[in-house]
Every structure is written in C-alpha cells, then in structure tokens.
Amino acid sequence: MARALSLSRSRRPTRLTALGELTGAKREDVGSRVEELLRCQQRRVGLVPTWVLPADVFHQVVEAELPSGHDPASLLRLIDRPRGLERAARASRRLLRAPMPLQVAADLAEFWEAFGQHAAQRISVSSSPTVSRVVAAHAGLLDTRIGIASPTALADAIRRVWAMCGFEAALTFLRSQKVRDLGMPVVIQVLPDASVTGSMLTRDSGRVAISGGDPGDGVPHADTRVVRYWPGWKPPPIDGVRPARVLRFDPYGNVLVRSAPAGDGDSELPQEAVSQLAELATLVARDAEAKSVGFLLTDQGPLVWDAGEATRLAQIDGGEPGTVWSLASLGEVLPGVATPLTWSVAFSTIQDGFAHAFRESGLKVPKGQRLVTRIDGRVYFNVSVFFEVATQLPALHTPSLLEIMGSAEREVLAPDTGSSPSFVRVPIVLAKLVSEQRRLAESVTRFEEQAEQQRRWLVEMDLAILPDDALKTTLAETHEFFRRTSELLLSCASATLIAYVALKTVLARSWPAQAEAIAQALTSGVGGLDTLGPASAVLRAREGLRSGEDTLDPDGTDPAL
C-alpha cells in the first residue's frame, strides 16, 4: 500500500497520496479543504485517515477527455456567453463518464483492497477546490458524499466532484470574484465508528445565558464554542429532517447552554467529551478567526474530518458590503419545484419583474444593485433595496414595515425607527393604490384568457416534429409568455404588500387592535390570483446571511450551524 500512496519523485503530487505525506503542499496542488486539514495536522489535531487525489490528476483528465476550450480557465472566460454555457454543460457531462488514468485506477483499486472491504459504507469523498474556502462555499463547490459501498461507487463519486467544475452557477460566481482558473482535488476518507457526529463553531459573537436562562439574556462571550451534534455517523441534518442538539461552552469546557432533547435515544454529551472538544477548538483556532470544525466522537476522543473558515467575507455580486441578503422562499412564486433548469429560465425574469412592479407603483429602484441573487444554489432577496424602495411611499410607517419583514437586522436597515408617518400625501397614495388594483384586476382578466389560449396551443403542438426554426420560434414565444406571467404575478404581490402596509398604518390610528385583520381582508387579492402567497414569501426574511440574537431557534439552535 505504501507504493500506491507515496509521493512521486516530482515535487508536486500526481497520484493518490496520504495526507501525512503532503506536508508543505500548496493550495493550487491540494485545494483549500486539504490546506486546512494540513494546518490541523501541524497543530497535532487528531484527524480521520485521509488521502488526496491532487489537482494534477484533475488537470490530466481535463486535458485527455475534454475538447479544446473546455478547461476551467476557458469556461470562466466564456461563462457569460451562450457558447460558454454550452461548453460548460458539455464539460460536466464528459467528466461524469471520463475514464480514470491508469495509475490512479491502480491506486484506487489498491486503496479499496486495503480499506474498503473493512469499512464499507464508511468511505467518504469530498471536494477540495483550489479557490479559498469562502469563495468555494459561496460558489456551491464544497460537497461531501458518504456511504461509498464499492470501487465503482468510489470512482463515480470522484467523477461527480470533478463535474462540479462545469456547473453554471459556480462558474458565474467565480467569474464575479475574478477567479481565472480552477482545480478540483478530491479528498477520500475512512471514517471510524463514532458514537456522535457534530459540527463546532470555535467562536461565537452572540449572547449566551449563564444560569440556564434564555440565550438572548446573557452576557456576550466572544470565545463561546457552539456545538451541534447527533448520534452515530450521519451527514449533517438539513432543514430539520433529523433533529440535532446544541451545546454551548466556554474555552475551559464549562457548559453554558444545553438545548432541549432532540429525539428518542439522543443522550447528552458527557463532561469528558465536552472538555475534549474545548481542547480541540483551542488547537484548531489559535487565532481570533472563527473556524467551523466537523468531527466524530470516537472511543479515542474527537477526530476531525473537515475544518475551515466560518466567516464569509466574499462580496456578493449585486450588493454592497452592508447589504442584508435574506433567504426568502422565492420558489413559491413559481409553480412546482424550482429546479436548476427552472431557475435558469426564471432568474432574470424575477429580477426584471420586481423592478417592473416597483416602477408601476411609482417607486425607484437604486441603480447597480440586484433585488435577487443566487448563493450556494439558493435564491436570496435584497432586503436593503426592498426597504429603501418601500419607504419611498409617504404613508408607510417604518416600524410597521420592519414588523412585517421580521428581519433581525433592523438597526442596519433603519437606525431611526421612531419617526411618524407623513399623512399629507396619503389621499394621493391611496388613490394611486386603488387605481393600480383596478388596473391589475383588468390585467388578470386578460391574462386568464391568454393563458388558456397558450395552454391549448402548447398541448396541441408536437414539439418532436417541429423543424429547428419553428422550434426556436415556439420556445421564444413561450419564454416571452413566462416573462409576462412573472411581471403580472410580481406586480400583484408588490401591490398587495404596499396596500397592506399602507392600510395597516392608517387603520392603526383609529383601530389599533383590529388594524391587521382589516388590512388583510382589504388586501386579499384580485382576480383569483393568490397574491398574498408570493408577498408573504418575500417577507419571510428570517434566515438571512447575517445572524443576530433574534435568529436563535426556541431550543437555542444556531442557524449558522
């Protein structure tokens, strides 16, 4: 096994190599994930057994299997053009079925013979892109696949990691960050039996309780460690599919907060394990920067399988350094599941639709800023721009708008929330809103007729027999119909929102207790369209990129983990 996992005679690794033999390797050779694991290794942190397929192997496959102009550097230059999109899709497909180099295939076979037969379902494959961890996270290039059960599955998982270099969203974001080239080393790990799996944030700037009280009532502890854990070896819980427990403790291992029990058979961490995790956090994060650590708790103590920066400093395209981006459920604007193909068609339409809807209401959108953007494959809403646009209406009371938005960044959005609304122009504003609602009602009636005609036209058409020119024309007309649909839907949503907040502000002067119910009744939608659905989706801005003490779950769970 030593032969297959040793460094080659050249100074740069070109085959499957054990992590311990990569001391001094650079990021362009092993990627940012391995770079952080090597730093942990130098600090004598316990790591799970780890091997690396370096970037040179990826570049060999790209050179051998992809046509000219399909390498990552070329794709980054062309991804904003139709030709670049076509090449990126072709590159991703070919990498998914690319044969392994002979030496790498031999190394993988020997690796599986030595470890795979005894650790089936406990082999993991992770990406280690050659860009910084922060940029890689925003681009959606950090991926881990577990439960590898065969040599074929191992090779397929490696190819899937390589194919990520052809993803449109990733390449688009990397280009916005002025990244000129990309390599994709691969990390292969043998995961030991573990009683607990978890992730740890080594530094928390929030507030914690000292005597078991509410997490938001304590004193700030910058060095508080936050651990989220679950029994056995399992991937991290996503969207509450599997509950996890949360533990907060100081650098000395003194427990500050324990969350409520998460599920049957889920026991608390013993004090010995907490002390070991406190020592691990000290080793991993010697500087003041917060680190995120993925660990397994074994009989020999905690072992690290992943580590990296916890702070995201990359500038998001379309905003400013102080912009509040919120994870709004914009997928509710679209029927069905918002697949990548759906978003590729609808993303620009949603952006233009919001701007059109605001302009129709007489509001101005700041130039140079986007209302929506994609981060980690999810769609985020620019709350800062929305707040700035909405407050242009003279009847809007700032606290009322913030209350509806439910955002934790109230001081960032509006430092002065004590001002009273101006009622001088209220009659003009209300007249404009009534006129807008009537116009929308007429537009909805016309749209329903057009939508039915469009549906019948498409149902009766056999796209398989259309010539290329006719197919192109059909797709263009369908895309234009989608654009008009989006504009109408978002116009209804924005008009409903503006009417709701304005009416609630006015009604609260005379009927403060009934103002919300009356406003909801008056803004229940027009023409049969469920306009409040998209509006409420835009308003649910509780899972933003910025976290605060108001964003903690009732059980003390930190959404950042």
Q: What does the pLDDT look like over 85-108, one tens digit per residue?
A: 899 999 999 999 999 999 999 999
Tokens of 219: 């004193």
Q: Is the pLDDT of residue 27 over 80?
A: yes
* Mean pLDDT (whole number) for 228-232: 80
Of all helices (H) and strands (E), which one includes residue 96? helix 82-96
- pLDDT higher than 80, residue 446: yes
Give domain 17-190's CATH superfamily. ATP-grasp fold, A domain (3.30.1490.20)
Give the mean pLDDT of 393-412. 50
Q: Quote the CA–CA distance of 257 and 227 in Å, as a whole number.
A: 10
The whole-number pLDDT of residue 321 equals 58
Measured at the CA of 351, the angle between CA 332 and CA 378, to 5 degrees, comes to 50
* Percent of the chain surpassing pLDDT 90: 23
Question: In sequence order, what are the residues at sequence separation of 6 or more whose Cβ sits closer than 8 angstroms to the Cβ of residue 414?
Answer: 387, 391, 398, 402
Query: What is the DSSP code (8-state) at residue 327?
Result: -
**485 CB contacts (<8 Å, ≥6 apart)?**
447, 451
- The CATH homologous superfamily to which domain 196-313 belongs is ATP-grasp fold, B domain (3.30.470.20)
Of the ranges 25-39, 63-77, 488-502, which one carries the lowest mean pLDDT score?
488-502
Residue 404 has pLDDT above 60, yes or no: no
Residues 6+ apart with CB under 8 A from 356: 487, 490, 491
H helix runs in 259-329, sequence order: 271-284
pLDDT single digits (tens) 28-72: 999 999 999 999 999 999 999 999 999 999 999 999 999 999 999
- How far from 122 is each of 2, 49, 230, CA to CA, in Å? 22, 11, 17
Whether 448 and 527 have beta carbons less than 8 Å apart is answered as yes
DSSP characters over 382-439:
EHHHHHHHHTTSTT--HHHHHHHHT-S-HHHH-S---PPPP-TTHHHHHHHHHHHHHH
How many CB atoms lie under 10 A from the CB of residue 514? 12
Examine the pLDDT at 293 and tell me if it is beyond 70: yes
Structural domain spans, the chain: 17-190, 196-313, 325-539
pLDDT digits (tens, 9 = 90+) for 332-377: 444 444 455 455 555 666 666 667 666 766 667 777 677 777 655 5
pTM (global) more than 0.85: no
Rounded Cα distance, 34 and 16, in Å? 13
The region, left, alpha or beta by phi > 0 then psi within -120 to 50, assigned to residue 376 is: left
Place of tokens 């005894």: 118
Q: Which of 47-61, 382-396, 484-498, 499-513 has the highest mean pLDDT?
A: 47-61
Q: How far apart are CA 516 and CA 498, in angstroms?
A: 14
